[in-house]
Structure 1
Amino acid sequence: MSANNQRGVRVGYQVPTFEYGDSPHDTFHRVLAQALEAEAADVDCLYVMDHFYPLPLIGPLDGTMFESQTLLAGLAASTTRIGLSPLVASATYRNPMLLAKSVATIDAISGGRARIGLGTGWFEREHRDFGFTLGTLSDRYGKLTETLEILREARSEEPGIVEGRWYRCERPIMNPPLRPDTEVLIGGGGEKRTFALAARYADHLNILADVDAVPRKVAAARERCEEIGRDPATLFTSYTAYLFLGDSQQAAGDSYRRFLADRGPIAAGAAGRHFVGTAESIAGQLHEQVIGKGVDGLIVNLVVDGHVPGRITEVAAALSAIKAA
């Protein structure tokens, strides 16, 4: 909701999968190669998922999945400019001060490039299998709210006491410090509770929704800001788009149909967030359907071929026209 002509359209890249048929060591280096390519292509931030299993939309349950904070630390040591963030860290998986300490460490390693991405969490199977309590939706919003409160304290010069139902902190000494201007992103599509938390605590709202709902989501985010007296222009908004590319429209369509046949109804159910075509045609779709509807930035997920050398560069070049608009 900020002024695009002043700040430009930021483009982030989300690593889509860790399942390449490699050893875990080689898989890390494939991810690092994507980070380095994104950095060279002037992508604003690299995002990784915070899960213990691959998402059903993306890959098999027994596929490779790295722990997000450890992975970001490894990438921090081998990159120089690109931002680094989970998309998004579940408030159910970590004590907030442990998360603050992890982010501060990644920030120190990277020279000030760490960001905080947060959400409520939702993946019931991995919570159960790994011994975490998912809880009710109200429980999860409670944990997210307390996490945000504690992170606000952790970013202050003199952290105080937070006593919550789920989490607490008592004047923690942060060294290395968590920068006061560390960007906090909240991801989700809930127009009431999620967007209200973003208006209250976040610098960046990442909107998860079918593209047809984007105008309504933008309006809701603006309303949540206005309800608490916040200037909506101070809350940066982005949209996560899942891209299926090809050298021609036919090739892209063929790739997409193979993906749908492989992943089944789960993938088809998310079709409203899928963009199919050449890099240039997808850039046009995103410009018209997302940026043109009031969203400030994009986070792109190259679902099937982000690991293919040159793909990130191709997409970033096509999206650069939007960045300059």
Structure 2
Amino acid sequence: MTIRLGLQINNFSYGVSGQGDVTDLFPTVVAQAQEADRSGFDAVFLMDHFYQLPGIGTPDQPMLEAYTALGALASVTENVQLGTLVTGNTYRNPTLLAKAVTTLDVISQGRAILGIGTGWFELEHEQLGYDFGTFTDRFDKLGEALQIILPMIKGERPTFSGKYYRTQEAMANPRFRDHIPLLIGGSGEKKTIPLAVQHFDHLNLIVSNVDEIGRKIEVIKARCEDIGRDPATLETSTLVGAIVGENIDRDLVPEEFRDRLLLGSPEAIAEQIKTKVLDAGVNGVIVFVPTQVVGYQPGNITALGEALKPLVSG
């Protein structure tokens, strides 16, 4: 797996209210994914949420179920890997998740990525009836889930009995390949980074400010050293926002995202990513475009891809 340049699509409003006409909603998602597919992006990610997130919009704004939408995107793209950034483990039984991602891998002819995390959005859990519990509960659930999911996607038939989950010779057929790349998102130094070092191919560092990246890379190297893993075998990326334009009012952007939002021409954004992200030791970048602020502007994703790809290639 190589994910040096990714696109996250995290907003589906496009001028549509929760009760409005959704005719153009998915075609707009397709248009973005196809731009990424043609312009050198390695992967396209959706969020795994059922409600829109605070800071991006209100809970009643449009949100597509991730694996249904990814299956549809697999049929209209050719090159990009497809996954979630990231799946909330608490939303699905691990056997169902293993089935969903192996199915996506078959549909896409080997382009699925399994992005997974503990789940964190309490409102979704409360309103939709999922157990939320403490962070420790959710982290322990993820640990159990991985003991089921990882063998299943390799073609094994795990029997497992834990505190939260149980299986009896569970299987997922058909499968396209024996290893689906594993991605986790976060930057917790006590739990997430050690888990990534132990099991994962890719760690997407979620930081509130890009100035934190250098120290996180040092923590990753130290945890790799603890278990004898070559740090070069754990790919890293970080998530940043990008708005192409010279006269954008930063105050229109939700405050939560301002410290990881880059503005300017595609070339200027690329230079900022090189300086703030890549030069800090991260392998790649996943960008999102705040379409709730600027709408979908055809051609901007292509321009970002063409400006960024030379920086992350090789």
Instruction: Tell me what 1:203 maps to.
Output: 201
**5+ residue gaps in structure 2?**
none
The two structures, once aligned, show a CA RMSD in angstroms of 1.8
> Within 2, Cα distance between the matches of 1:301 and 1:269?
14
> Within 1, Cα distance between the matches of 2:134 and 2:179?
32
Does residue 276 (structure 1) correspond to residue 263 (structure 2)? The answer is yes
Is this contact kept in 1: 2:158–2:171, CA < 8 A?
Answer: no
Instruction: Tell me what 2:7 maps to.
Output: 13
Residue of structure 1 aligned with 2:93, choices 92, 95, 98:
95
SS of the residue aligned with 1:92? helix
Within-5 A mapping of 1:1-325? 10-22=4-16, 23-177=21-175, 179-209=177-207, 210-246=209-245, 248=246, 251-252=247-248, 254=249, 256-259=250-253, 267-304=254-291, 305=294, 307-324=296-313
Where does structure 1 differ by over 4 angstroms across 4 or more consecutive aligned residues?
Answer: none
Moved more, 275-284 or 158-167: 158-167
> Within 2, Cα distance between the matches of 1:86 and 1:295?
20
**Aligned-residue offset at 1:324:** 4.0
SS of the residue aligned with 2:104? helix
Cα–Cα, structure 1 residues 67 and 168, in superposed 2: closer, same or farther, change >3 Å?
Answer: same
> Within 2, Cα distance between the matches of 1:12 and 1:286?
13
Aligned length: 307
**Aligned-residue offset at 1:306:** 6.7
Query: TM-score normalized by structure 2?
Result: 0.93
Is this contact kept in 2: 1:306–1:312, CA < 8 A?
Answer: no
**5+ residue gaps in structure 1?**
260-266
Residue deviations 1:246-272 (CA, integer Å, cap 9, x gap): 1x2xx13x2x2223xxxxxxx324432
Task: Letter of the 2:297 partner, please give it.
Answer: V
**Aligned-residue offset at 1:299:** 0.4
Identity of aligned residues (%): 42
Cα–Cα, structure 1 residues 289 and 205, in superposed 2: closer, same or farther, change >3 Å?
Answer: same
Task: Letter of the 1:15 partner, please give it.
Answer: I
> Within 2, Cα distance between the matches of 1:281 and 1:196?
35
Query: TM-score normalized by structure 1?
Result: 0.90
Moved more, 24-33 or 182-191: 24-33
Moved more, 224-233 or 30-39: 224-233
**Aligned-residue offset at 1:177:** 2.2
